[in-house]
Amino acid sequence: MIKVGVIGGSGYTGGELLRLLSAHSQVELSFVYSRTRAGKPVSSAHPDLLGLTDLRFSGEVQPDVDLVFLCLGHGNSRKFLEEQIFSPETKIIDLSSDFRLKEDCSFNGQPFVYGLPELYKEQIQQASYIANPGCFATAIQLALLPMARMGILTGDVHVNATTGSTGAGVVPSETTHFSWRNNNVSWYKAFTHQHLDEIEESLDNEQTNRGDLLFLPVRGNFSRGIFATAYTRYNGDQDTVVNLFKDYYREAAFTQISEHPVHLKQVVNTNQCHLHVHLGEGVLLVTSVIDNLLKGASGQAVQNMNLMFGFPETKGLNLKASAF
């Protein structure tokens, strides 16, 4: 058993972590930190946890836990670690973007390892600090990494990815307001989304002489999931590409290659990424679907925890989608 703390536990990724950790047989949940809800039952923010935990939010951390998950917005994780003292033995998994890029990935002289198990499993197993990837970044990297290994990203790559409203966090905004979001579609941050840098860094592992990555993020009319398409010019044959994708993910616990076109609901509420490869006339199209809060955030964080502590990689994560 390991002792675990969750910081920012009243938000969406925090809530998903608590749901997963409360069913994980190797984890004892020691504290759930909240700035604004100290003393209140955790189930007051997450009614779905009623009966699963009697814990109350805490306004203080327990500095000697084995692991803390940071579920804070961009910029707040680094600040939090500067203000709070944890034991040198305490491992950290940060869900924000504060430590994801190589130029900015160390804290107290210790590096954060980028937590994409499909790319860095061995480094994650040895790591004390993990920077959990972004949700769009996860879906898009898993679509593009095998293409980069093939060296075919020499021309421009077009990526269109639609996300559910939970991607924007628990605090309501104009574009997550039900009356606006429902029956509506819109794009945002065209070609400038903040996840582009971490995607590019990972792709550099496989191919450096690449064309441009043109990424258009879209707000979808649903609460969970990311449906991403990526396509580029390619003149080879379908079997070669499909076999290469299968080979690339042969050891991956949660990334599957589907023979059939994929849809979002087949992965929502799971830690899976399902990929489908389609060859049109001179164009290779890869579709990637994930749950933004699971494989895109808290599920991948638990996968990383399992790897760091030597638990089976899939422990607590064998979830079937509620596909209908």
Ligand X SMILES: NC(=O)c1ccc[n+]([C@@H]2O[C@H](COP(=O)([O-])OP(=O)(O)OC[C@H]3O[C@@H](n4cnc5c(N)ncnc54)[C@H](OP(=O)(O)O)[C@@H]3O)[C@@H](O)[C@H]2O)c1
Considering only residues 95, 196, 268, 289, which one is a binding residue for ligand X as defined by CB under 6 A? Answer: 95
Q: Please tell me whether residue 35 binds ligand X under the rule CB under 6 A.
A: yes
71 is catalytic: no
E strands of the chain, at which residues?
2-7, 27-33, 57-58, 67-70, 91-94, 106-107, 110-114, 129-131, 157-163, 186-187, 213-219, 226-233, 255-258, 273-279, 283-290
For residue 1, which amino acid is it? M
> Smallest gap, in angstroms, from Cβ of residue 208 to ligand X?
27
Q: Which stretch binds ligand X (CB under 6 A): 103-111, 119-127, 196-204, 292-300?
A: 292-300
Q: Which two tokens stand for residue 96?
A: 């924000």
Strand partners, 182: none
Using CA atoms, how far apart are residues 324 and 310, in angstroms rounded to an integer?
35
Q: Please tell me whether residue 60 binds ligand X under the rule CB under 6 A.
A: no
Q: Which two tokens stand for residue 8?
A: 């920012």
Please report, as residue ranges, which positions from 11 to 30 form the binding site for ligand X (by CB under 6 A).
11-14
Letters for 138-167 (x = contact with ligand X by CB under 6 A, - = none) are: ----------------------------xx
Within 10 A of 59 (CB to CB), how many other CB atoms are there?
A: 12
Q: For tokens 């500067």, what's the residue?
A: 82
Task: Name which of 117 and 234 has its Cβ closer to ligand X.
Answer: 117
Within 10 A of 211 (CB to CB), how many other CB atoms are there?
A: 13
Cβ distance 106 to 41 under 8 Å? Answer: no
Strand partners, 94: 70, 131
Please report, as residue ranges, which positions from 171 to 210 form the binding site for ligand X (by CB under 6 A).
171
Q: Please tell me whether residue 270 binds ligand X under the rule CB under 6 A.
A: no
Q: Which stretch binds ligand X (CB under 6 A): 4-12, 60-68, 116-124, 204-212?
A: 4-12
Task: Name which of 21 and 147 has its Cβ closer to ligand X.
Answer: 21
> Smallest gap, in angstroms, from Cβ of residue 165 to ligand X?
9
Q: Please tell me whether residue 275 binds ligand X under the rule CB under 6 A.
A: no
> Smallest gap, in angstroms, from Cβ of residue 312 to ligand X?
24
Cβ distance 23 to 31 under 8 Å? Answer: no
- The edge-to-edge listing of strands for the beta sheet with 27-33 is 57-58, 27-33, 2-7, 67-70, 91-94, 129-131, 110-114, 106-107
Considering only residues 5, 117, 134, 225, which one is a binding residue for ligand X as defined by CB under 6 A? Answer: 134
Using CA atoms, how far apart are residues 289 and 138, in angstroms rounded to an integer?
10
Q: Please tell me whether residue 101 binds ligand X under the rule CB under 6 A.
A: no
Q: Please tell me whether residue 296 binds ligand X under the rule CB under 6 A.
A: yes
> Smallest gap, in angstroms, from Cβ of residue 185 to ligand X?
18
Q: Which residues bind ligand X (CB under 6 A)?
A: 8, 10-14, 34-37, 71-74, 76, 80, 95-96, 134-135, 166-167, 169-171, 292-293, 296-297
**Residue positions annotated with a catalytic role:** 135
